[in-house]
Amino acid sequence: MLLHTLASTFHFAAQEDGSLPGKGLTAIQIVLLFVAAPIGLFTLIAGTAYALTGERKNKSSAISHIE
């Protein structure tokens, strides 16, 4: 039983080719990636949606408004 446990522990500890972790992110990169980028994308999408569907200046017309 002990031999089986040791063998399985070694198997899980061994990493496959190409599965080595890469270089870590700096604090600035993390903030830019997980805070600034989502806020920027939200602002861009919300601004675009508002610009395309926002209130328009109503032009008076005899068809749409009777005085």
Distance CA 15, CA 49 (A): 47
**Is the pLDDT score of 59 beyond 70?**
no
Q: How confident is the model at residue 65 (pLDDT cuts 50, 70, 90)?
A: low
User: Is 0.85 topped by the overall pTM?
Assistant: no
Q: What is the pLDDT of residues 5-40, one digit of tens each?
A: 656 666 666 667 777 788 999 999 999 999 999 999
Residue with tokens 């604090």: 27
**Is the pLDDT score of 45 beyond 70?**
yes
Are 25 and 33 in contact by the 8 Å Cβ rule? The answer is yes
